[in-house]
Amino acid sequence: MATLSPDELNEALRPLRLMLGAEGYGLDITADPLEIRISATDSACAECLVPRTVMEPMIADMMQRSGLEGDYALRYPESHVDACGQIEAVSLLDDTHSGASPEP
DSSP codes, 4-35? P-HHHHHHHTHHHHHHHHHTTEEEEEETTTTE
Domain that holds residue 79: 2-98
Q: Is the dihedral of CA 52, 16, 87, 42 positive or negative?
A: positive
Residue 63 CA to residue 3 CA, distance in Å, equals 11
Q: Using CA atoms in the order 2, 7, 71, 55, what is the torsion angle rounded to 10 degrees? A: -110
pTM for the whole structure: 0.71
Does residue 104 belong to any structural domain of this protein?
no
- pLDDT of 80 reads 53
Does residue 103 belong to any structural domain of this protein?
no
Domain count, the chain: 1
pLDDT tens-place string over residues 63-102:
999 988 888 889 888 755 454 444 444 333 344 555 544 4
Does residue 29 belong to any structural domain of this protein?
yes
What CATH code is carried by the domain that includes residue 55?
3.30.300
Q: Please, are residues 9 and 36 in contact by the beta-carbon 8 Å criterion?
A: yes
